[in-house]
């Protein structure tokens, strides 16, 4: 133990390097497993060193907390369906925020410790970012899990309330900094919790992938702020890595949606006043429909097929059946590829994880920038459970809330097959002109059942 304490800084540095390797590994499906292992080893080292160098730790409480947390985490990891992964991630972010708040409150109530000006600023920043992260993540969890309406909180009063709450929080923080008043710190904490709600409630369902990424960044900065309070270098480094990577990912996601990050943070855009009611029925227009047998015949006689997966695929748990069908088409000589939009699903990388679970070969999975130029030469595009990421209104309708958002250009292919339960609008609440084109055939039903019927048709 003394040896560990003697080399604590070096071990923390090793843990930090492992965290960097974790991010590097997680940047690609091929390196994800190794990346996770790096992170596990790095965290184990960080926890071990912290327990050794901590002054008079209460090992009984620490062990109980660690065992309980490990048990809950293991259970959730083994039982969570892929459709609930986004809200699970949001809930994890909320726990990081709550931890930051509780640590800050414990620090300011420690009668044996005086905090200088710099430390008071660190406590203030760590606590208010943690408070915002906690309630914002809980609201995001509610929207993603359908416990709360996906529709945004609307009204001319929303932004003034955001500003007033933020100013009140800052004023209470300044009062704490000057007077070291515990009451002011509690008021600041309470207002940060309220602000977290008002930052996420006005954001519509179509922006939730960016929200999940943004909350990831918030949780990192909250951890870094508390790292300064605890004078823990590895927590500062890990928090900074998570915060900066989450911010970069949020920027990339916003760019993929042609959105301003500030616009998303403070509500508006997709899912705002301009959008139709989320989940409502689309205006009645003429469209063509067919059966699973029709779809299987068209794809079985094509030279090239591009599959565009969406959240509906995850809901129906159809990814394994879809890959079985893709393999059947490949055996017939059809060139099958998957096209992934950056904001498909409910969180960044949702579709990539879904397809990896079904053991889809990595070389068949192409990002939007790689595949868009090929749609014009593609015989059939199968859109399964997706809506907004293939909506031509983003390119053609200047009045559309998603105008300017880059999309997968499925409408340029020779034939489009869309598998949906109904003609209802997508998660952003928008109708889709693609569904009414002469080249489009709608196939209605549960995605898994439709794909299974297509497999039977190919077998015959």
Checking DSSP bridges between strand 415-420 and strand 380-384, what pairing results, if any? parallel
Please, are residues 441 and 315 in contact by the beta-carbon 8 Å criterion? no
* Confidence label for 150 from pLDDT (cuts 50, 70 and 90): low
User: With 0-12 CB in 10 A as exposed, 13-18 as middle and 19+ as buried, what is 317?
Assistant: middle
Question: How far apart (Å, rounded) are the C-alpha atoms in residues 255 and 299?
Answer: 33
Spatial CA neighbour of 429 closest among 283, 290, 325:
283
How large is the average pLDDT for residues 20-24? 90
| Both tokens assigned to 264 | 């998303």
Question: How far apart (Å, rounded) are the C-alpha atoms in residues 262 and 328?
Answer: 46
Please, are residues 244 and 23 in contact by the beta-carbon 8 Å criterion? no
Please, are residues 439 and 414 in contact by the beta-carbon 8 Å criterion? yes
DSSP 296-355: HHHHHT-SEEEEEE-HHHHHHT-HHHHHHHHHHHHHTT-EEEEEE-TT-SSSTTHHHHHH
Q: At what angle do helices 117-144 and 208-230 cross, to 10 degrees?
A: 150
Please, are residues 338 and 378 in contact by the beta-carbon 8 Å criterion? no
Question: How far apart (Å, rounded) are the C-alpha atoms in residues 231 and 229?
Answer: 6
* Confidence label for 261 from pLDDT (cuts 50, 70 and 90): confident
Q: Pick the residue with more confidence: 167 or 76?
A: 167
| DSSP structural state of residue 289 | B
Q: Compute the Cα dihedral for 13, 40, 209, 411 and give only its sign.
A: positive
| Both tokens assigned to 367 | 């990002």
Q: Enter the pTM of the model.
A: 0.75
How large is the average pLDDT for residues 218-223? 88
Question: How far apart (Å, rounded) are the C-alpha atoms in residues 173 and 356?
Answer: 46
**444 bridge partner residues:** 420
| Whole-number pLDDT of residue 411 | 94
| Whole-number pLDDT of residue 197 | 92
* Confidence label for 229 from pLDDT (cuts 50, 70 and 90): confident
Taking 60 as the threshold, does the pLDDT of residue 6 lie above it? yes
Instruction: Return the number of other C-beta atoms located less than 10 Å from residue 332's C-beta.
Output: 12
Taking 80 as the threshold, does the pLDDT of residue 46 lie above it? yes
Catalytic residue among 388, 431, 433, 453: 388
User: With 0-12 CB in 10 A as exposed, 13-18 as middle and 19+ as buried, what is 146?
Assistant: exposed
379 catalytic per annotation = no
């Amino acid at each position: 133990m003394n040896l560990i304490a003697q080399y604590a800084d070096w071990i923390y540095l090793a843990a930090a390097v492992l965290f960097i390797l974790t991010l590097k590994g997680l940047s690609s499906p091929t390196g994800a497993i190794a990346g996770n292992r790096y992170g596990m080893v790095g965290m184990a080292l960080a926890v071990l060193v912290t327990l050794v160098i901590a002054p008079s730790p209460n090992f009984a409480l620490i062990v109980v907390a660690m065992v309980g947390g490990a048990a809950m985490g293991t259970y959730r990891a083994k039982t969570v369906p892929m459709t609930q992964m986004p809200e699970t991630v949001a809930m994890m972010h909320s726990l990081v925020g709550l931890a930051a708040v509780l640590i800050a409150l414990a620090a300011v109530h420690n009668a044996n410790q005086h905090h200088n000006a710099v430390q008071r600023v660190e406590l203030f920043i760590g606590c208010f970012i943690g408070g915002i992260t906690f309630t914002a993540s809980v609201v995001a969890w509610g929207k993603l899990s359908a416990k709360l309406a996906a529709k945004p909180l609307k009204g001319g009063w929303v932004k003034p309330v955001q500003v007033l709450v933020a100013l009140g929080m800052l004023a209470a923080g300044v009062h704490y900094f000057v007077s070291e008043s515990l009451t002011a710190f509690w008021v600041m904490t309470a207002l940060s919790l309220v602000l977290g709600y008002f930052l996420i409630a006005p954001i519509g369902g179509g922006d939730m992938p960016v929200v999940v990424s943004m909350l990831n960044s918030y949780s990192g900065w909250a951890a870094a702020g508390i790292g300064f309070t605890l004078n823990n270098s590895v927590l500062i480094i890990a928090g900074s890595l998570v915060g900066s990577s989450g911010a970069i990912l949020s920027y990339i996601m916003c760019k993929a949606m042609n959105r301003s990050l500030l616009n998303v943070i403070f509500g508006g855009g997709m899912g705002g006043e301009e959008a139709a009611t989320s989940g409502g029925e689309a205006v009645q227009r003429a469209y063509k429909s067919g059966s699973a047998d029709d779809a299987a015949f068209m794809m079985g006689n094509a030279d090239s097929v591009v599959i565009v997966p969406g959240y509906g695929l995850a809901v129906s748990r159809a990814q394994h059946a879809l890959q079985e069908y893709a393999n059947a088409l490949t055996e017939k000589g059809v060139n099958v590829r998957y096209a992934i939009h950056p904001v498909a699903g409910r969180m960044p990388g949702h579709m990539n994880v879904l397809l990896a679970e079904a053991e889809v070969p990595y070389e068949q999975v192409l990002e939007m920038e790689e595949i868009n130029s090929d749609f014009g030469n593609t015989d059939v595009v199968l859109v399964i459970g997706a809506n907004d990421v293939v909506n031509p209104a983003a390119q053609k309708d200047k009045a559309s809330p998603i105008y300017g958002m880059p999309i997968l250009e499925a409408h340029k292919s020779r034939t489009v097959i869309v598998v949906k339960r109904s003609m209802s609008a997508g998660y952003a609440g928008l109708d889709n002109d693609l569904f009414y084109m002469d080249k489009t055939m709608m196939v209605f039903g549960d995605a898994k059942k439709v794909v299974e019927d297509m497999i039977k048709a190919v077998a015959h």
